[in-house]
Amino acid sequence: MYHPEMSSDTQRFLAHTQSLTTSEPLDATRRRFLSVSAAAGLGGTLFPGALLALATHSSAAQSSAPSHASPTFAPITPEMIEQAAAIAGLAFTPEQRKLMIEGLTGVREDIVEVRKLNLPNSVAPALIFDPVPGGTVLNTARQPIKLGPSHGIASISASNEEQLAFASVRQLSELLGTRKVTSMELTRLYLARLHRFDPTLHFVITLTEDRALKQAAAADAELSAGKHRGPLHGIPWGGKDLLAVAGYPTTWGAAGFEDQRFDYDAEVVKRLDAAGAVLIAKLTMGALAQGDLWGYPTGAGKPGARTRNPWNPKQGSSGSSAGSASAVSAGCVGFAIGTETLGSISSPSTRCGVTGLRPSFGLVPRTGAMALSWSMDKIGAITRSVEDCAIVLNAIYGPDGHDLSVQPAAFNPDFTLDIRKLRVGYIKSAFDAPTFAPPKPPGSALTGKDLDTYNQRIAQRKARFAQQSYDAKFNTAALATLRSMGLSLTPVTLPDFPFGSIVPMLEAEAAAAFDDLTRSGRDALLSGQEPYDWPNSFRTARLYSAVDYVNAARARTLALHKMTEAFAPFDVIVTPSFGPQLTATNLCGQPAVIVPNGLRGPDAPPFTPTPDDPWPDYGGPNTPVSLSFLAPLYQDAKACTLAHAYQQKTGFQLLHPRLG
């Protein structure tokens, strides 16, 4: 659901160095993308939101402290309209401005009346995003999953913690089914590991220990009696803390929500309960699904914490499904649930070297999950293998009668399919070798600080180019491996379309989802307060007009058609995990399977935090890289089939960090 989201420090660095880099891929996370968008100007007609902001006066506007008092409004004047029009890039004559006063006053009164309804986050707008092109006939016939040969459990000892902790879902299922290990033993093992590694990795918000032990005992009783609910029966899992779980806090990773509770379970939680899975923890997420920085500012109770990458604990795990990816990578849960709006599964899966499945938009119901963007949020699995992702998705997908965006499309993975029958493309530009261009020389001789700044820009650009060049060899090797598997790869060109200019829709929806947070001033409690963080983004989005939102939605219709045409000749498209495709596919709903694609060696460029970038995206030696497999809408199964075959060929999914 939410979005990809890097640390605030990373965002600061990206904003600072945006002009320094060439061949820089578009943001791997929503937060990075939004910072770039903000730097470029979130254009469009901002009227009449700008007018409302200009006309609003309250004690909060005259004080640095947030106020919960109801604002009072000054009368709208022609001068206010002129100022608002200038912000919006419009011009009206004096006569036109006078004529507008009465109508705008009425609009403002209507806005205030709607605000009085105090709409909770759970109320969706009466507008349903449907990415399915007209005339499309969905396959709705649900069939059993076709798994490949068993991986075997003979080499796994029930007394060997390391082997059990990093076993796949399928292996754990076979161990449970043959009673070589019990659900209670697995649950206690994973709970112990969560306790042990959380002080270093910061991936737990709330342990659901009592619930888990009851579920594990019930699972063991059923399995002993011969009742087998399926491959997830008895397997411990962790959920991103935007999923409601009755009896436990659902904090959304943010200050001000630490005591929030719901008296119901999210639909995904219900479905995993029905499958016999055991929920052991609510895992970290960036505050309101932004990045890997969660919790509360220092001095406000519990200090904010950044979830860490188990491969390099000096680095953040990325976000916003920060804890889900980190906990899977560290062998602390059997599998996890994450969400993506614009990179929140893709980015942490890459960073932590795990497998992520961002399903087609409208495949998994979001009922009971925090809303960030009703037209972009997606719930998916983060696991150790593609096969595991498919098993989890099979348990949670399909309509629930409440989330009206969910389509009746079937997900029928077949891991026995001959992959040579698949039509496979690759995004050629994403695999091209990076190029280096030095900063533009100054027009005159530089001295002092100006010279130091220029030299720093050169060094930063050289360092980024070295990192890109090193990582490019993994992409080249991936294409060679795929061809060695008997596949014919066809180059693909993404549509030439301003996908990024549609992204302000996301910010507008997010600002609406957290409307009261901004108006009450409680946004000051959030950990991130930089220009690229949610508080400022929510405020900026309030000046994005309804007219421009609708026009962006119309542009999105064109984007849907262009992406449908681009994907039509293919069953699967292979690409590095970041770049322009991340924005395009999230806006248009196509699925992605993100898989580990090897480890950087000891000769990789170093991990080098700086004051400007204390949380670099690049992890340095012995950290993972990734590859993504895309597919047309509701063809998630085909992407899974090819990605699974790639994992069987490479074995990268078997690598895991060595923890103390």
- Token pair belonging to 242: 């935007």
Which of 168, 318, 320, 537 is flagged as catalytic?
320
Two tokens at 140?
Answer: 């709705």
Cβ-count burial of 452 within 10 angstroms (0-12 exposed, 13-18 middle, 19+ buried)? exposed
Task: Pick the closest to residue 108 from 66, 50, 69, 68 (CA basis).
Answer: 50
> Active-site residue among 240, 282, 378, 638?
240
Q: How many CA atoms lie within 13 A of 88 on its CB side?
A: 26
Name which of 166, 172, 379, 195 is nearest 270 in CA terms: 379
Catalytic residue check, 240: yes
344 classed as catalytic: yes
Return the biggest CA–CA distance within the chain: 84
165 token code pair: 């902790």
Packed helices 209-224 and 169-177: angle between N→C axes, nearest 10 degrees:
50
Q: What are phi and psi of 405, to 5 degrees?
A: -80, -15
Here the tokens at position 481 are 């491996």
Q: How far apart are CA 360 and CA 398, in angstroms?
A: 11
C-alpha to C-alpha distances, 145 to 178, 219, 383, 388, 396, nearest whole angstrom? 21, 22, 17, 12, 13
For the chain, the distance separating the N- and C-terminal CA atoms, rounded to the nearest angstrom, is: 33
In 495-545, where does DSSP find H-type helix?
Answer: 504-513, 515-520, 534-541
How far apart are alpha carbons 257 and 254 in whole angstroms?
Answer: 6
CA-closest candidate to residue 287, choices 567, 562, 581, 537: 537
Contact by Cβ (8 Å): 26, 580: yes
**CA-to-CA separations, 363 to 398, 399, 405, 585, in angstroms, rounded:** 6, 8, 8, 15
User: In 125-277, which ranges are E strands?
Assistant: 204-207, 236-240
Neighbours of 388 (CB within 10 A): 29
Structure tokens at 525: 């409690």
349 and 355 Cβ atoms separated by less than 8 Å: yes
Question: DSSP 3-state helix, strand, coil percentages of the chain (rounded to 5)?
Answer: 40, 15, 45
Q: Is there a catalytic annotation at residue 19?
A: no
DSSP per-residue letters across 382-444: EESSHHHHHHHHHHH-S--SS-TT--------BTTS-GGGS-EEEEHHHHSPP---PPPPPSS
DSSP-assigned letter for residue 5: B
Burial (Cβ within 10 Å: 0-12, 13-18, ≥19) of residue 241: buried
Q: Is 323 in contact with 331 (CB distance < 8 Å)?
A: no
Rounded Cα distance between 523 and 256, Å, is 9
Which residue in the list 8, 321, 344, 346 is annotated as catalytic?
344
Active site amino acids: 240, 320, 344
